[in-house]
Amino acid sequence: MMNVFVIPSWYPSQDYPVTGIMIVEQYEALCKANTAINIGISVWGQMDSRFLLYASDHFKNLLKLTVAKQSFTIPKAPNLKEYHTPAFTWSRKIFDGNFKSIVKANLKNFKAFERDFGPVQLIHAQVGHPAGNIALEVSKQTNIPFCLTERMGPFPSPYTTNKYGVLTEFHKSPYLASVKNIAVSPFQKRMMEQQWIPNIVTIPNFVDEDYFQPAHRLTKRGSTFTFFAFTRLVEGKGIEDLLLGTKIILDTGVDIILRIGGTGPKAKEYIQLAENLRISKSIEWLGELCREEALQEYQKCDAFVLTSHYESFGIVYIEALACGKPIIATKCGGPETIVNDLNGLLVEKNNPLALAEVLQYMIENISKYNSALIRQDFLNRFSKKVVIPQLINLYQEVTTQHKSTP
């Protein structure tokens, strides 16, 4: 048996039920695929508004400080449990953002995991900060090695670098101490190498092929060609470009529907832009989607499109591929190793005119894309059956090395 303690930088909460859902799904799949591995996931209140203190919210912060903080455990499977010990988080500019208390909360979760399953062999941090920094401190106090998966995009975050764009000593320290740094794409690996990060291996993200799959019986919404986009409505996801490209297509007389799933701080701005462009009748804003709703959208669209300015990987692309749908992506990092001639098209980012041409090509040539072949290509590269063994092999490698170290 192997016990792995996972520290995620973000995790689903009542306030943000989709944020970090990929981490949940991947560990559920791993535990189901290999019952010889026990996973404990440490939750200290990340993405939980009750424990996030903002400098501008003095009154709300006082109310939050009265919230009772109790530890509890949520069993997810016989070999998978979530361990919750809340800790308040605030800006690192003030008393280090309560970092010591956050580390203590994770140590408490660590000890609870050991009480349930026995000694931990490995700690796995998801993203360099804050999880990597927390894992480093937990590792020091327990003498247990840790590995680190970096999936942040853009990388490095401007919040973790100095004025020259170089990681600060604090933010780089986890990568130097980690026994393995995992990049989710070749592009991410290159970005990490530019920060002189050592011991990098590439293991891609994966999705559950048993859940994300083509519909057995497809009920299309109509004859109009439908594109589906699914993302956070934030800066950098290229929604402006997507709306402008859609405007160009519609002005040629081609009738399409663009369904956009997701929410975010820029939602009102993008809805207003669609109105200003006079294309609102062709845009359907779906809001936040649960996993079942997202699956249905993937299955019912004709093609998936997301015109990001930067993606370290792009999990939504492979979710679409798992459902047998062709994709349109920008040349923004991760998608270059996902998209090929079989499954979709790449286009330059920040270029609505070029995007319109690619959208037009997809509409006219949709019959050239074979759903079964797209699905099989996904299975060969990004399915749990292919990727989980890579992760387990890495776990076994680093724990074996640690055992042999005097």
Looking at residue 20, its pLDDT comes to: 87
Looking at residue 150, its pLDDT comes to: 97
pLDDT tens string 1-46 = 899 999 999 998 888 888 888 899 999 999 999 999 999 999 998 8
CA atoms within 13 A on the CB side of 306: 29
182 shares its domain with 254: no
pLDDT tens string 175-198 = 999 999 999 999 999 999 999 999
- What's the chain's average pLDDT? 92
161 shares its domain with 12: yes
Which H helix or E strand runs over 327? strand 327-330
For residue 214, being part of any structural domain is answered with no
For residue 262, being part of any structural domain is answered with yes
CATH number for the domain including 398? 3.40.50.2000
43 shares its domain with 184: yes
Q: Which domain holds residue 117?
A: 2-206+384-404
Kindly tell me if the per-residue pLDDT of 75 is higher than 80: yes
Kindly tell me if the per-residue pLDDT of 135 is higher than 80: yes
Q: What is the pTM of this model?
A: 0.92
* Residues whose CB falls within 8 Å of the CB of residue 311, separated by 6 or more in sequence, listed in order: 153, 329, 332, 333, 334, 335
* Residues whose CB falls within 8 Å of the CB of residue 277, separated by 6 or more in sequence, listed in order: 243, 244, 247
For residue 211, being part of any structural domain is answered with no
199 shares its domain with 312: no
Report the C-alpha gap between 373 and 360 in whole angstroms.
22
376 shares its domain with 328: yes
- Sign of the four-CA dihedral 23, 79, 174, 335: negative
Looking at residue 219, its pLDDT comes to: 60
Pick left, alpha or beta for residue 405 (phi over 0 → left; psi -120 to 50 → alpha; otherwise beta). Answer: beta
193 shares its domain with 265: no
Looking at residue 314, its pLDDT comes to: 95
Among 81-95, 111-125, 259-273, 311-325, whose mean pLDDT is lowest? 81-95
313 shares its domain with 333: yes
161 shares its domain with 22: yes
130 shares its domain with 42: yes
For residue 248, being part of any structural domain is answered with yes
Structure tokens at 168: 């600060």
Q: How many domains does the chain have?
A: 2
Find the mean pLDDT for residues 330-350.
97
Looking at residue 35, its pLDDT comes to: 95
Q: Write down the residue that tokens 């894992």 correspond to.
A: 135
